[in-house]
Amino acid sequence: MALAPTILVFDSGLGGLTVLREIVATRPDAHYVYVADDAFFPYGRHGEDQIIARVVPLIGELIAAHTPDLVVIACNTASTLVMSHLRAQYLVPFVGTVPAIKPACAQSKTKRVSVLGTRGTVNREYTKALIRDFAQGCEVTLVGSAELAALAEAALSGVEVSDHDLSAELAPCFIAGSEDHAARTDTVVLACTHYPLLMDRLVRLAPWPVGWIDPAPAIARRVADLLPPPNGETDQAGAEMIFTSRRPHALSRALTPFFGGRIPA
Q: Are 219 and 190 in contact (CB under 8 A)?
A: no
Nearest approach, Cβ of residue 75 and ligand DGL (Å): 4
CA-angle at 147, arms to 145 and 150, nearest 5° = 130
Nearest approach, Cβ of residue 76 and ligand DGL (Å): 4
> CA 154 to CA 148: how far, in whole Å?
10
E strand or H helix at 8: strand 6-11
Nearest approach, Cβ of residue 181 and ligand DGL (Å): 30
Nearest approach, Cβ of residue 144 and ligand DGL (Å): 10
- Residue 187 or 193 having the CB closest to ligand DGL: 193
- Residue 12 or 110 having the CB closest to ligand DGL: 12
> Residue 160: which residues within 8 A CB-CB, separation 6 or more?
none
Q: Are 7 and 214 in contact (CB under 8 A)?
A: no
Strand partners, 32: 7, 239
- Residue 15 or 68 having the CB closest to ligand DGL: 15
Binding site for ligand DGL (CB under 6 A): 11-13, 15, 41-44, 75-77, 118, 121, 149, 192-194
- Residue 4 or 197 having the CB closest to ligand DGL: 197
Q: Which residues are catalytic?
A: 75, 192
